[in-house]
């Protein structure tokens, strides 16, 4: 029997929505508004408890955005390497050797 963890469901939804290019900016804006808003799930006027949810959201946000940035940089690097090797292959001239007597 599979256990149900609502935090895992929320995490998966947040991650998948953030990785979707169509909804990414809405999630980024919503995350920043949630972090900056003093009235959220646990109000920021409570010294430590109010900062815990903001810290968790900020950590998740930074981790996911860094993963997205790293994957984009890797794909850009792979694309450049593929184009570079293709252009080098196009510039290479293959000549049959002929012996000179």
Q: What is the pTM of this model?
A: 0.65
Domain definitions of the chain by residue range? 13-68
Q: How confident is the model over 47-61, as pLDDT tens digits? A: 787 788 888 889 999
The pLDDT value given to residue 11: 86
Structure tokens at 34: 């949630």
Query: Token pair for residue 85?
Result: 């090797």
**Quick check: 100 pLDDT over 90?**
no
Count of other CB atoms within 10 angstroms of residue 50: 17
Give residue 29's pLDDT band: very low, low, confident or very high (50, 70, 90): very high
- Per residue in 11-24, pLDDT (tens digit) is 888 889 988 889 88
CA dist., res. 64 & res. 30, Å (int)? 15
- What per-residue confidence (pLDDT) applies to 79? 84
- Is 40:53 a contact under the CB 8 Å cutoff? yes
């Amino acid at each position: 029997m599979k256990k149900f963890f609502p935090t895992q469901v929320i995490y998966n939804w947040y991650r998948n929505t953030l990785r979707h290019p169509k909804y990414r900016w809405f999630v980024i804006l919503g995350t920043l508004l949630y972090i900056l808003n003093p009235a959220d799930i646990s109000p920021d006027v409570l010294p430590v408890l109010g900062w815990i949810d903001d810290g968790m959201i900020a950590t998740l946000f930074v981790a996911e955005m860094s993963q997205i940035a790293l994957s984009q940089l890797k794909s850009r690097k792979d694309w450049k390497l593929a184009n570079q090797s293709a252009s080098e292959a196009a510039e290479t001239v293959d000549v049959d050797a002929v012996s000179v007597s």
